[in-house]
């Protein structure tokens, strides 16, 4: 009887997960399907999940109307540099907060963590004024620099570093190693799952960023993909096949990054103590 109950419970769980997966997948399937339709079949009734005929006309028209290649390059450059910058800065800050004890470290970390509660809309004006004084408005530096530092990334890596046994660094100190040696030779090699987790979050955050690039960039040559896609929405008429084609282009890099780092991502979420 207990085995039958376990079997029924497992079957019910699989059924619920399958339904949830369908709810997640169907919008993406519809997005790809709409991007392959011609104008006359986009809003046809009944709706077609499988476009007939299927065409890449939306992608070619999108490339003709917008410098889509340049936008993808700008977004990719900003996302890659931001991700690498967050990994470096957050790793060093997390090591200091988790392994180096100094007066006021806990209070300083709490103040640093409290910045997560401040909305971006509150800081965007003073940040814009600061970058204007630096002469970084409408430049790659202004687009990328504010995203290189992350309180969330520091918290994530600190939680992971705290889970590592202190015996490893104590043995290294006994051998005459410095904090820099322990950080680069002991902590960093063991933190790959946490780095992969942070990389996915940082890349997605930078790739999808809209408000800050909209404020700081005015030159079309520096425009990122989300800002460019926003211009596809017309005032009276929106060509949804073009919008969906641009959305597919925007989703593919994030999907590749997640699939590449999936194994490390799951390990990092589990070991860093993040709960859903």
Distance of CA 172 to the CA centre of its chain: 35
Express the helix, strand and coil content of the chain in percent, nearest 5 each: 75, 0, 25
- E strand or H helix at 150, and its extent? none
In 115-191, alpha helices (H): 120-134, 140-144, 151-162, 166-174, 179-182, 188-190
pLDDT of residue 264: 66
C-alpha span between 254 and 161 (Å, rounded): 26
Task: Give the Å distances, CA to CA, from 17 to 12, 13, 169, 258.
Answer: 9, 6, 43, 20
Query: Do 155 and 95 contact (CB within 8 A), yes or no?
Result: no
**Tokens read off for 127:** 């940040």
Place of tokens 């290294």: 172
DSSP 8-state code for residue 12? H
**Which DSSP string do the residues of 97-135 spell out, in sequence order?**
HHH---TTHHHHHHHHHHGGGS-HHHHHHHHHHHHHHHT
User: Would you state the structure tokens that stand for residue 93, as one six-digit string?
Assistant: 């800050």
**Residue 20 region, left (φ>0) first, then alpha (ψ -120 to 50), else beta?**
alpha
Q: What is the Rg, in whole angstroms, of the alpha carbon atoms belonging to the chain?
A: 23
Calpha distance 124→195 (Å, rounded): 27
Joined together, the tokens standing for residue 168 give: 């490893």
pLDDT in tens, the chain (276 residues): 567 677 778 888 888 888 888 888 888 888 888 888 777 767 777 777 777 777 788 888 888 878 888 888 999 999 999 999 999 999 999 998 888 887 888 888 888 888 888 888 888 888 889 988 988 888 899 899 988 988 999 998 998 888 888 888 888 888 887 888 888 888 888 888 888 888 888 998 999 888 889 888 888 888 898 888 887 776 445 677 888 888 888 888 888 877 777 766 666 555 554 444
pLDDT confidence of residue 236: 42
The pLDDT value recorded for residue 235 is 47
Q: Please state the φ and ψ torsions of residue 235, each to the nearest 5 degrees.
A: -75, -40
What pLDDT was estimated at residue 165? 85
| Prediction pTM value | 0.80
Sequence-distant (≥ 6) Cβ neighbours of residue 61 within 8 angstroms = 242
Nearest to 174 by CA among 164, 162, 186, 160: 186
């Amino acid at each position: 009887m207990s085995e039958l109950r376990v079997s029924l419970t497992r079957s019910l769980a699989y059924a619920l997960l399958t339904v949830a997966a369908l709810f997640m997948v169907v919008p993406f399937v519809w997005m790809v399907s709409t991007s392959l339709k011609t104008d006359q079949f986009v809003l046809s009734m009944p709706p077609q999940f499988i476009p007939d005929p299927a065409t890449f006309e939306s992608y070619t028209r999108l490339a003709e109307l917008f410098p889509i290649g340049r936008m993808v390059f700008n977004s990719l450059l900003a996302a890659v540099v931001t991700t690498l910058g967050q990994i470096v800065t957050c790793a060093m800050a997390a090591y200091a907060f988790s392994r180096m004890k100094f007066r006021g470290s806990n209070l300083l970390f709490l103040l640093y963590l409290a910045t997560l509660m401040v909305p971006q809309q509150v800081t965007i004006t003073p940040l814009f004024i600061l970058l204007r004084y630096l002469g970084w408005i409408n430049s790659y530096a202004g687009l990328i620099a504010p995203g290189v530092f992350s309180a969330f990334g520091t918290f994530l890596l600190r939680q992971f570093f705290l889970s590592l046994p202190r015996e490893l660094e104590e043995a290294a100190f006994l051998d005459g190693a410095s904090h820099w040696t322990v950080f680069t030779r002991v902590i960093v090699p063991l933190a790959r799952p946490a780095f992969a987790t942070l990389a996915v979050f940082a890349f997605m955050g930078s790739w999808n960023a809209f408000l800050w690039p909209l404020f700081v960039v005015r030159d079309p040559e520096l425009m990122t993909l989300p800002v460019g896609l926003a211009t596809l929405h017309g005032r009276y008429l929106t060509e949804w096949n073009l919008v969906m084609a641009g959305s597919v282009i925007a989703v593919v890099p994030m999907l590749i990054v997640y699939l590449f780092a999936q194994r490390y991502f799951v390990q990092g979420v589990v070991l860093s103590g993040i709960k859903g």
